[in-house]
Amino acid sequence: MSPLSLMPYLWFSTCCIVTAGIRTAQFTVHCGCSWLLCADVVCENSIKKVVKEVEEIVGDKGLNCLINNAGINVVASLEEVTAETMLTIYETNTVAQLMVTKAFLPLLRKAAQLSTGMGCHRAAIINMSSLAASMQLVQANEMFLKVYPYRIAKTALNMITRCLAADLKSDGILCISLHPGWLQTDMGGNMAPMQVQEAIPGILSVMDRLGEKENGSFLDWQGETLPW
């Protein structure tokens, strides 16, 4: 069960299917209060299409919470990293997050106008970051030295969080970076210490407690503040 004090009446999830190297963004699945929309976050037209779909459903109520969770990773040490790999990871893990946020801003602002305070109950942007992004913990996390593109892109994402938090504060829109933990996903692999379902309650609990003092912060899935 979700620990959220205010359960959302609508959930939107997006995904991008890649078959034989071809990216697909052409389907919509609806079940009760949940919607699964196909989106390619590095495609401007795909982002616009999803925003339009969401807008048609939420109407004047807007969007209360945007979770930027898209991400890719390529193992690349100092000896292996290339400019092409850096740009590919940066496009998806950093640039796309900003472009998606920019596209959804009108809906977030609509929601923000209908409430007060700061938090997911009003309007919030959650950027899924990583402990690997911490510049202060570089030496403490040597295992991340083999993922130059990923950790650098996530560090840049943290700067986006800080910029958005400052820029959108007057609109009542909160923004944080959140480290969800090392999870057993396609990217996290089987060596990760936690399964996704173990982290979800903690993540939702952190989101539920967010307020003005957390705006612009870097937190983990247990609510602990992480060093930049």
SS3 assignment, position 142: helix
The pLDDT of residue 130 is 93
Residues in the chain: 228
Domain locations in the chain? 62-220
Residue 52 has pLDDT above 90, yes or no: yes
Strands 28-31 vs 34-38: parallel, antiparallel or unpaired: antiparallel
Strands 11-15 vs 34-38: parallel, antiparallel or unpaired: parallel
- Tell me the β-bridge partners of 31: 34
Name the helix (H) or strand (E) containing 162: helix 148-168
> pLDDT grade, residue 201 (50/70/90)?
confident
The pLDDT of residue 97 is 98
Name the DSSP class of 183.
B
Contacts of 97 (CB under 8 A, 6+ apart): 41, 68, 70, 127, 157, 160
Q: List the one residue out of 222, 211, 217, 194 whose CA is nearest residue 134.
A: 217
Contact 43, 22 (CB under 8 A): no
* Cβ neighbours around 165 below 10 Å, total: 20
191 to each of 106, 110, 145, 228, how far by Cα in Å? 40, 42, 17, 25
Tell me what percent of the residues of the chain surpass a pLDDT of 90: 65
The pLDDT of residue 126 is 98
Distance CA 154, CA 150 (A): 6
The pLDDT of residue 18 is 53
Distance CA 209, CA 160 (A): 22
- Tell me the β-bridge partners of 131: none
Distance CA 226, CA 228 (A): 6
Q: List the one residue out of 133, 135, 166 whose CA is nearest residue 149.
A: 133
The pLDDT of residue 22 is 42
Contact 131, 143 (CB under 8 A): no
For residue range 134-165, list pLDDT tens digits in order: 999 987 666 667 889 999 999 999 999 999 99
For residue range 104-134, list pLDDT tens digits in order: 999 999 999 999 999 999 999 999 999 999 9
Q: What is the pTM of this model?
A: 0.89
> pLDDT grade, residue 34 (50/70/90)?
confident
The pLDDT of residue 225 is 97
The pLDDT of residue 187 is 61
Range of weakest confidence among 80-84, 90-94, 138-142, 190-194: 190-194
Residue 189 has pLDDT above 80, yes or no: no
Please state the CATH superfamily assignment of the domain spanning residues 62-220 in this structure. NAD(P)-binding Rossmann-like Domain (3.40.50.720)
The pLDDT of residue 20 is 40
* Cβ neighbours around 204 below 10 Å, total: 16
Residue 32 has pLDDT above 90, yes or no: no
